[in-house]
Amino acid sequence: MDFAQQETAYNPPAPAIRIAHSYFESLQLASSAPGELTIAELAFDSFQQPGAAGLRGSVAAVPRQLLYKCGTLCIDMRLEPKPGSNYVVLVGQLIDAKKPLQGYDAVPVSLLSEGDKLSETRTNQFGEFHFGFESVKHMQLFFGMERSAVVVPLPESQSEAA
């Protein structure tokens, strides 16, 4: 009985609530797209690679290369921080591993943070897209594909090496 009374007084941590809200924003965007919602998996992160032998840490802002996969869909991205600021440029491309020469033209791409849409764009004829933004937490990319929707969770910061 004591446990049940304590349960009603429980408040989840604020970061957990923000993350849940961001997923609901993704689901709300996905409800306008036919098909299913899929979360892409990280296949490559340049920050997880060992440093070159004999080199010490660098003070310069280093671009981060990321590759996410979702079935045959590959999302190749580069995060480039602007030195001396919190500004980041994200450049990416959608590629089908089975048809690498075929571009994903006019796919809607949304940049989300903590449940809010920060910006949106569409891919060009080569499947390329780009965003410039102030780095914030809990960021995701949402791709409204023709038959499904794909969510890509972005790393928290340039210094994070998951």
Whether residue 101 lies inside any domain: the answer is yes
Whether residue 158 lies inside any domain: the answer is no
Whether residue 162 lies inside any domain: the answer is no
Domain of 126 in residue numbering reads as 2-52+61-153
Q: How many domains does the chain have?
A: 1
The set of residues, in sequence order, having a beta carbon less than 8 Å from that of 142 and lying 6+ positions away, is: 26, 29, 30, 109, 110, 112, 149, 150, 151, 152
Residue 55: exposed, middle, or buried by beta-carbon count in 10 A (0-12, 13-18, 19+)?
A: exposed
Whether residue 142 lies inside any domain: the answer is yes
Whether residue 160 lies inside any domain: the answer is no
Per-residue pLDDT of the chain (162 residues; tens, 9 = 90+): 576 667 677 776 766 665 555 555 555 554 555 578 899 999 999 988 766 556 665 545 689 999 999 999 999 999 999 998 999 999 999 999 999 888 899 999 999 988 789 999 999 999 999 999 998 888 999 999 878 899 999 987 554 433
150: left (phi over 0), alpha (psi -120 to 50) or beta: beta
Whether residue 159 lies inside any domain: the answer is no
Q: Is the pTM of this model over 0.85?
A: no
Report the DSSP pairing between strands 64-70 and 41-45.
Answer: antiparallel
Residues 29, 110 contacting (CB under 8 angstroms): yes
Whether residue 129 lies inside any domain: the answer is yes
